[in-house]
């Protein structure tokens, strides 16, 4: 059975794309057939951080009805299948997010996990990935604006009949900061899946077009990603 997981936040810049690229890569490493898809059609970053930013066919062309989804799938780290979005504004304008659900149906039987990197915000294209997922994972930072936006995203997901799996707290100073964890858990009222530390290697890895779990596997953030991948998805 395939599980569709949307990585969402409400606020931009919390780490959705970073989480998608790294968790997706780790799941593939553990032999899960994993697809990661960039549904952030306006600010497409997933391809950028994986060195797949100049692909001829992307989700843009698929959502414009000009290409088949299977022509927009590229191999990423550890064999993860990546569906990038395009960088052009023209492509964004021509994409119809309402086609996402049908496209998902075309690929869902081919993988164990389909992870969707959601856009920020609660526009039409932002809420579709919340509604079509089996579960939504919120990515928040330990600051009040990000937590409030995460809460809003949770409420919208539930209003649409979706399910929140839990929240990842990204960019914490210390991953053993129980006070922060408990506080955020109380406000969001969802399980905390894990905490990822602030780590300069995240940005260095992105600049190298490689996820940190591949480029700097012994770094603190990589350790945290590995723990989350094994605990969340049940990999031993
Ligand atoms: P989003 O997809 O939610 O907009 P990104 O994943 O693109 O967010 O992350 C935003 C920025 O923060 C990027 O420059 C990324 O390298 C950086 N970043 C994300 N997580 C961390 C972290 N744990 N430590 C340091 N920098 C991070
Ligand atoms: Mg992003």
Using an 8 Å Cβ cutoff, are 179 and 201 in contact? no
pTM: 0.97
- Across 204-223, average pLDDT: 97
What is the distance in A from the centroid of ligand 1 to the CA of 1? 31
Mean pLDDT of 137-147: 97
Task: Find the residues whose C-beta lies inside 6 A of ligand 1.
Answer: 9, 12-18, 45, 170-171, 196, 198-199, 202-203, 206, 221
For residue 137, give the nearest of 1, 4, 2 by alpha carbon.
4
Contact indicator for 39, 125 with CB cutoff of 8 Å: yes
Does the pLDDT of residue 236 top 50, yes or no?
A: no
User: Rounded to 5, what percent of the chain is helix, strand, coil?
Assistant: 45, 20, 35
Per-residue pLDDT of 98-113, as tens digits, reads 999 999 999 989 999 9
* pLDDT exceeds cutoff 70 at 138: yes
Question: Does 234 have pLDDT greater than 80?
Answer: no
In this prediction, the answer to ipTM > 0.95 reads yes
Please name which of 173, 165, 179 lies closest in space to residue 221, comparing C-alpha atoms: 173
Q: Is the pLDDT of residue 72 over 70?
A: yes
Residue nearest to atom 26 of ligand 1 (CA): 202
CA distance 58 to 8: 21
- What are the residues whose beta carbons fall under 8 Å from the beta carbon of 159, sequence distance 6 or more? none
> Could you give the count of Cα atoms lying within 13 Å of 66 in the half-sphere of its Cβ?
11
Domains of the chain: 3-163 (3.40.50.300)
The model's pLDDT over 18-66, given as tens digits with 9 standing for 90+, comes to 999 999 999 999 999 999 999 998 888 999 999 999 999 999 999 999 9
Instruction: Tell me what pLDDT residue 233 has.
Output: 67
20 is written with which tokens? 């998608």
To test the pocket of ligand 1, the residue of 10, 13, 172 to mutate (highest count of ligand atoms within 8 Å of its CB) is 13
Query: Between the CA of residue 116 and those of 48, 162, 180, 196, what are the distances in Å?
Result: 16, 14, 27, 19
């Amino acid at each position: 059975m395939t599980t569709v997981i949307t990585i969402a936040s409400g606020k931009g810049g919390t780490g959705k794309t970073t989480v998608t690229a790294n968790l997706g890569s780790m799941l593939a490493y553990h032999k899960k057939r994993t697809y990661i898809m960039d549904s952030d059609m306006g600010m497409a970053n997933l391809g950028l951080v994986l060195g797949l930013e100049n692909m001829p066919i992307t989700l843009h062309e698929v959502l414009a009805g000009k290409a088949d989804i299977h022509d927009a799938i590229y191999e990423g780290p550890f064999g993860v299948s990546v569906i990038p979005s395009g960088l052009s504004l023209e492509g964004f304008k021509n994409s119809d997010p309402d086609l996402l659900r049908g496209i998902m149906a075309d690929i869902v039987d081919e993988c164990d996990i389909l992870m969707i990197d959601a856009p920020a915000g609660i526009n039409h294209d932002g809420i579709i990935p919340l509604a079509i997922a089996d579960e939504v994972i919120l990515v928040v930072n330990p600051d009040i604006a990000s937590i409030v936006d995460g809460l809003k995203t949770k409420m919208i997901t539930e209003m649409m009949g979706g399910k929140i799996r839990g929240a990842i707290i990204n960019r914490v100073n210390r991953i053993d900061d129980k006070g922060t964890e408990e506080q955020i858990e109380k406000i969001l009222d969802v399980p905390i899946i894990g905490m990822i530390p602030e780590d300069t290697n995240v940005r260095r890895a992105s600049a190298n077009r490689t996820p940190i779990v591949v480029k700097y596997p012994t770094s603190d953030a990589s350790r945290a990603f590995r723990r989350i991948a094994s605990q969340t998805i049940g990999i031993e």
